[in-house]
């Protein structure tokens, strides 16, 4: 969640365990999410350049942390600079994260925990399956070799006479 992102502090990055600690997220719950090695390098570069005192992403000098609307504006600026036609928001990135986890084979309860959802139905709304993925799936019936070989060709066809 973007509201959780802007409230991160440097101490919330646990590089020894490769985790980000989300403190007091939605519902006042703490949780951990995996930290990508690539993201860790970017965060280290950011930290060395800016040396933020409290907030990992500080707002205006002397103020608090970066605001949620500022991150949303930044997403729109990046979208325009890159020429992306699709709408990009921090929330669409959250949906993409859930979808990519699902496509990578991560089980739904784990995705639920990573997203910080209390209700599995909420998590289900975040996961989208690409049509290409659906087309590439094989039917479980295809795994049942020989099952249909024992069924006579006339089975299932309507009979023309009465009961025999």
Q: Which residues are catalytic?
A: 1, 26, 91, 94, 117, 126
Six-digit token string for 163: 């009961």
Alpha carbons 1 and 26: distance in angstroms, whole number? 9
Residue partners of 117: CB distance under 8 A and separation at least 6: 123, 126
Q: Residue 22 in 3-state DSSP?
A: strand
- Which has the closest alpha carbon to 12: 4, 24, 20? 20
């Amino acid at each position: 969640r973007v509201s959780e992102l802007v409230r991160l502090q440097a101490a919330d990055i646990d590089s020894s365990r490769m985790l980000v600690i989300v403190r007091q997220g939605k519902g006042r719950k703490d949780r951990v999410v995996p930290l990508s090695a690539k993201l860790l390098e970017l965060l280290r570069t950011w930290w060395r350049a800016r040396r933020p005192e409290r907030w990992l992403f500080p707002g205006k000098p002397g103020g608090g942390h970066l605001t949620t609307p500022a991150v949303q504006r930044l997403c729109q600026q990046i979208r325009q600079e890159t020429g992306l036609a699709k709408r990009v928001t921090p929330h669409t990135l959250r949906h993409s994260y859930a979808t990519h986890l699902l496509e990578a084979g991560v089980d739904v309860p784990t995705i639920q925990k990573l997203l910080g959802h209390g209700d599995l139905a909420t998590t289900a709304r975040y996961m989208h399956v690409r049509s290409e993925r659906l087309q590439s799936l094989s039917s479980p019936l295809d795994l049942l070799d020989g099952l249909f070989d024992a069924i006579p060709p006339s089975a299932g066809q309507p009979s023309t006479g009465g009961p025999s």
